[in-house]
Amino acid sequence: MNEKEKMLSGILYDSTIEELSNERLNAKKLCYEYNLLKPDESDRKKEILSKLLGKAGKNFTIEPNFYCDYGYNIEIGENFYSNHNLVILDCAKVTFGKNVFIGPNCGFYTAQHPTDPIERNKLLEYAKPITIGSNVWIGGNAVIIAGVTIGDNVTIGAGSVVVKDIPENSIAVGNPCKVIKKI
C-alpha cells in the first residue's frame, strides 16, 4: 500500500513524500489564486473551485479566504455557504450535506498525529473523515475534529470544539461541544 492509499485508509502514513507534497502544493496554488480574486469574479471563483473540490452542488459560496490541503477530498452539497477564513485539512474525506451554513474562521481538521513523541517525530500522521449532515449551521470560530459526524438539522454554537459525534436535531455548544437541546 502506498502512502496516499494509507492516508485515504486512515492509517499512519508519511505526508512528506513527493506525490502528496505536490498535491498539497497544487491545492495551495489554487487557494492562493482563489483568495486573490476580486469579489465580482464569480465565474472564475466557481472555475477554480471546480478544479479543486472533489464534488460540489451547483449553488454554493465560499467567501475568501479559503484554505485546504488537497481539495479532492471535499464534497459539498447544494446551498452551501461558508463565511470568511474557512480551513479544511482534508487528508480524509470531508462531506457536507445540503443547506449547510458555516460562520467565519471555522476549521475542519481530519489530520491527526500520534500522541507518542517518538512516533510523532517520525513525521507520520493519520486522518479520519468528517461528515456534516444537511440543514446544519456552524457558528463562527468552531473547530470540527477528525472522525466526527454531525447529524442533520444541527446548530453548533460559535466557538465550539466538536470532538465527538453530534446527533441529528440538536443544538450543541462548548469546548468540548455538548448537546444542550434537542429540537
Question: What is the set of active-site residues?
Answer: 113
Asked if 95 contacts 82 with a C-beta cutoff of 8 angstroms, the reply is: no
Neighbouring residues of 18: CB distance < 8 A, sequence distance ≥ 6: none
* β-bridge mates for residue 127, sequence order: 111
Report the distance separating Cα 72 and Cα 84, nearest Å: 20
Q: Is 162 exposed, middle or buried (0-12, 13-18, 19+ CB in 10 A)?
A: buried
Cα dihedral 45, 48, 50, 54 sign: negative
